[in-house]
Structures are given as C-alpha cells and as structure tokens.
C-alpha cells in the first residue's frame, strides 16, 4: 500500500497475493509516516524543493505540458549526503504534498534493507510487485531509503544475490519509460557504494547533494524547531546561534533545541529530579533563555564530529619551546582566514 492511501480508499482493492506477501514479511511494512511534515517544515533546502517540484511533481500532475514541448521527465533521482541532513524528511514532505488536491500521487516508501528476503528470488519478486503496484496506481513515486543496502556495487567476490537484485532494479527502471508516470527516488549516505550502472542518465538522472547546512540554513532550521515555543526566541538570538553552530546538521539542531528545553526545565524545577511523585507544574513559567542554549551546546557533539576522533592535542613539554611560536603564528593566520571558527 502507498503511504498516503488508506485501504478503503483503494478502488479495486489489493490483489490477494500481494496481501499475503505483505503479511508474511513483517518488514515490508513501510515506515510510519508523519502526516504533519510539509515543505514549510524543511529548512534551508528551498533549491532542492523547487527542483523536485519541477522534476517529480509537475510531470506527474501536468503531463500535457511535458507532452506538448516533448520534454522527457526524469525517471529517478538520488538524494545523498551526510546523515541527519533531511533526506528522509524531504521525501516525507513530498509524500504529504502529493496527498493534497484532486489528483493524488501514490507514494511508496521502502527501506532498502527491508526489501531483502531470505528466500532466493523473493526480493526480486517483491521489487517487481512493487513496481507493478505503482504502475497500477500511477502516477506514483517510489522512494527507497538507504538504497545502498539494496543496490550495492556489484563485485566478483560478492554473493550472487545482490547482483541479481541490482540487475532486476536496472531492468525495472529501464522498463519505466514505456510505462511512464512513475518516478523512483533513492536516498543514501554513501554515493560511492551504489552500483554505478544505476547512476547513469535514464535511471537516476539527477543527484541532489544534501550537505551540512550553512549559516542561513541553520537559522531557518532553528526557526522551524522553535516556532511553537512561547515566547519565541528573537531573530537576533537565532542568528547568533546559527553562527555558533558550525558543523551541525539538521538533526543536531533539532536535538539542541530539545536539550535547551530540558535545561530550562531543570533550572526552573530542580526538585523534579529528587521527587518520585508527579508534581503539578506551571508550564508557562518555564522560559528558555540563551543560558540554556549555551548549556545544551556544551553537552552536544555534532554528528559530523563524532565519527572522527579529533587529532588535536597539546604540545609535549619537549617540543613546546621549539614549536610554540610557529603554532601561534599558524593559529593567527587561521583566525584571519576563518574568522567564525573557534
């Protein structure tokens, strides 16, 4: 079933064999969708969003325009970038935007690894059924999250299973042009681990890089995650925060906001931690201030900096007299080049 349809909304119902497949493979159940996410809940990615609308939504909604000017709409696109930068979020928002209006686009969402099965040939059959169902309910979008699990680079030492899945996917995507009205989107953290054959034009035509947000984007994401707070943090304060949070991804910013709220709670009601009973709280009296954000920032390490151990350490007592001056000069030069970095 597509994510944005209910069972009773399907006209013909689902064929029986598909129902049993869904029931027998517990993991086939698609990711739960959060229906509240819309494009306005995605910060700093407006270029990607308008490109997606142009490439994915318009050809499905207004095929006559593309027909008229003989434009070939893309068959697939690939989202890639570091974790927590909003790839899944954009796909969810796209699904919700597609559920509006008269002409609805069916949106199928699969985690790459969930399409795998222990039975030989079963994954390929699942894929074929998925594309078939998507075709029956066209126009539709198929979204594969973590596609590197499904279609890794085929190599000689690797087992046969993956290479057969990859070739099935290639064949299915090649078959799309005669069928039309289906767009495939893949998301991955590791672009280099996807089979190169999938990345040629005609399959995943366009690639969208979701990089770590810059200062403006960070400010927008802060705004989104604090928009329901009362009182809202001031614009100037958010600007200052965005300047400080270099290297934070969208998910880091979200968790920073949550942590700041917890800090404020801790400050206002320290007795919560001692009492074992539920206390009556005056929620309106919890005010989140700059102090809470400073505390929260001390506690969080951005995801991009967790993976690599920092190579920096203090000079040893032997090398200190030798290198001290040079180091100071280097730091000064760096400070001039990157004034925002600490």
Q: Which residues bind ligand ATP (CB under 6 A)?
A: 42-45, 83-89, 189, 210, 221, 224, 250-251, 254
Q: Is the Cβ–Cβ distance between 83 and 304 less than 8 Å?
A: no
CB of 254 to ligand ATP, least distance (A): 5
Using CB atoms, what's the residue nearest to ligand ATP? 250
Nearer to ligand ATP, 17 or 34 (CB): 34
Q: Say what the alpha-carbon torsion angle 81, 84, 89, 91 is, to the nearest 10 degrees.
A: 30
Q: For residue 28, what are the CA distances in angstroms to 110, 120, 126, 168, 260? A: 8, 16, 9, 18, 37
> Residue 51 has which token pair?
């490109």
In the complex, minimum distance from the CB of residue 32 to ligand ATP, in angstroms, rounded to a whole number: 12
Closest distance of CB 41 from ligand ATP, Å: 6
CB of 220 to ligand ATP, least distance (A): 7
Nearer to ligand ATP, 38 or 200 (CB): 38
Q: Which is nearer to ligand ATP, 14 or 191 (CB)?
A: 191
Q: Count CB-CB contacts under 10 A for residue 14.
A: 14
Cβ neighbourhood burial of 206 (10 Å; 0-12, 13-18, 19+): middle
CB of 145 to ligand ATP, least distance (A): 6
Given the complex with ligand ATP, which of 210 and 293 has the nearer CB atom? 210
87 vs 162 by CB, closer to ligand ATP: 87
- Cis ω on the peptide bond leading into residue 87 (within 30° of 0)? no
Residue with tokens 């129902």: 19
Minimal distance, residue 321 CB to ligand ATP, in Å = 46
Q: Which is nearer to ligand ATP, 131 or 222 (CB)?
A: 222
Burial of 338 (C-beta count, 10 Å sphere; 0-12/13-18/19+):
exposed
Task: At 76, list the tokens.
Answer: 């697939």
């Amino acid at each position: 079933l597509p994510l944005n349809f209910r069972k009773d909304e399907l006209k013909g119902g689902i064929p029986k064999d598909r129902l049993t497949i869904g029931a027998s493979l517990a993991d086939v159940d698609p990711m739960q969708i959060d229906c509240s996410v819309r494009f306005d809940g995605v910060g700093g990615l407006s270029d990607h969003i308008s490109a997606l609308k142009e490439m994915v939504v318009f050809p499905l909604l207004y095929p006559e325009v593309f027909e008229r000017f003989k434009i070939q709409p893309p068959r697939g696109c690939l989202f890639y970038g570091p974790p927590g930068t909003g790839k899944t979020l954009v796909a969810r928002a796209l699904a919700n935007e597609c559920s509006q209006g008269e002409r609805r686009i069916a949106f199928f969402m699969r985690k790459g690894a969930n399409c795998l099965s222990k039975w030989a040939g079963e994954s390929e059959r699942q894929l074929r059924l998925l594309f078939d169902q998507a075709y029956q309910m066209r126009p539709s979008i198929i979204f594969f999250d973590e596609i590197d699990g499904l279609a890794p680079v085929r190599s000689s030492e690797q087992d046969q299973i993956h290479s057969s899945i990859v070739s099935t996917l290639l064949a299915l995507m090649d078959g799309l042009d005669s069928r039309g009205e289906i767009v495939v989107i893949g998301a991955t953290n590791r672009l280099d681990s996807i089979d190169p054959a999938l990345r040629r034009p005609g399959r995943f035509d366009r690639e969208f890089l979701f990089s770590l947000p810059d200062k403006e984007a960070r400010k927008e994401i802060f705004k989104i995650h604090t928009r329901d707070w009362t009182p809202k943090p001031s614009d100037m304060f958010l600007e200052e925060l965005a300047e400080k949070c270099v290297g934070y991804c969208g998910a880091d910013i979200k968790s920073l906001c949550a942590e700041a709220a917890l800090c404020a709670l801790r400050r206002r009601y320290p007795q919560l931690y001692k009492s074992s009973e539920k206390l009556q709280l005056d929620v309106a009296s919890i005010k989140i201030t700059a102090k809470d954000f400073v505390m929260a920032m001390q506690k969080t390490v951005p995801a991009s900096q967790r993976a690599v151990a920092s190579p920096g350490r203090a000079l040893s007592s032997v090398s200190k007299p030798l290198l001290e001056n040079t180091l100071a000069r280097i730091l000064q030069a760096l400070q001039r080049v990157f004034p925002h970095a600490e």
